[in-house]
Amino acid sequence: MTFNDIFKSSFLENITSVSILDMAIALVLAFGIGMFIFLVYKKTYQGVMYSSSFGTTLIALTMITTVVILAVTSNVVLSLGMVGALSIVRFRTAIKEPLDIAFLFWSIAAGIVLAAGMIPLAVIGSVIIGVILLVFVNQKSHYNPYILVLSCVDSTTEKQATDYISSKVKKQVIKSKTVTKDNIELNLEIRLENDNTDFINELSNISGVNSAVLVSYNGEYMG
């Protein structure tokens, strides 16, 4: 083996396997699509606490996936090794919102399709998905759900309070009931026809009602 043979490496030969222009175009488009996904996520987020880091992750994930697929498509041997390497990766971060999974897969899919050279599919597909999410996720239900926590001193007050609530809301369902020696606590799911919550003030003034707490509820419920 000569001195020149030491520097004859297949690693150096892979430098020109992907052109600079292809990399630049793919990464710019990946950033643009990632930004679009991030904006859609920001507009459609309905959780309790918005996480800006997750939005940034969507942009980074689109670009990272594009880089990985560009490398895979340029070398068949590399693709086999990368599949084995990525198969041992495990992520432990919990997904708090079910819709977040859709955004993660959207970012990955956009990066894969874009790096494969299917630019129209990546762009048009992302636009269509974004419009659908904006329309359906931001669509408000006709009846707004709330959780009402009611504390009463006895069963008579409970009956009076629940009758009053029935006259002011579209629907009410008892979720839980806790009874102690001098207190009865009810958790009720109620549906309002509008955003008027003034009836809570009158409810709390009923004799025997210790407290009435109304909490916005955006969980899953059956119609």
Condensed to tens digits (0 to 9), the pLDDT of residues 172-222 reads 888 888 888 888 898 888 888 777 778 888 888 888 888 888 887 655 443
Contact 143, 193 (CB under 8 A): yes
Residue 82 near residue 71, CB atoms below 8 Å: yes
Q: What is the mean pLDDT of residues 149-171?
A: 87
Given phi > 0 = left and psi -120 to 50 = alpha, else beta, which region is 147? Answer: beta
Give every CB contact of residue 222 below 8 A, 6+ residues apart in sequence: none
For the ranges 10-19, 139-148, 160-169, the maximum mean pLDDT occurs at 160-169
Of 105, 107, 100, 102, whose CA–CA distance to 46 is shortest?
Answer: 100
Task: Please report, as a single letter, which amino acid is at residue 165.
Answer: I
Q: What burial letters (b/e) apply to 67-87, b meaning 16+ CB within 10 Å?
A: bbbbbbbeeeeeeeeeeeeee
Query: What domains are there in the chain, each with its CATH number?
Result: 7-137 (no CATH), 144-216 (3.30.70.260)
In angstroms, the CA 194 to CA 153 distance is: 30
Lowest mean pLDDT among 23-32, 120-129, 155-164: 155-164
Q: What is the pLDDT of residue 143?
A: 60
State yes or no: pLDDT of 38 exceeds 90. yes
The mean of the pLDDT values for the chain is: 79
Share of the chain above pLDDT 70, in %: 75
Average pLDDT over residues 49-72: 85
- Does 142 have pLDDT greater than 70? no
Does the predicted TM-score (pTM) go above 0.85? Answer: no
Q: What is the pLDDT of residues 10-32, one digit of tens each?
A: 555 555 566 788 888 999 999 99
Residue 85 has pLDDT above 60, yes or no: no
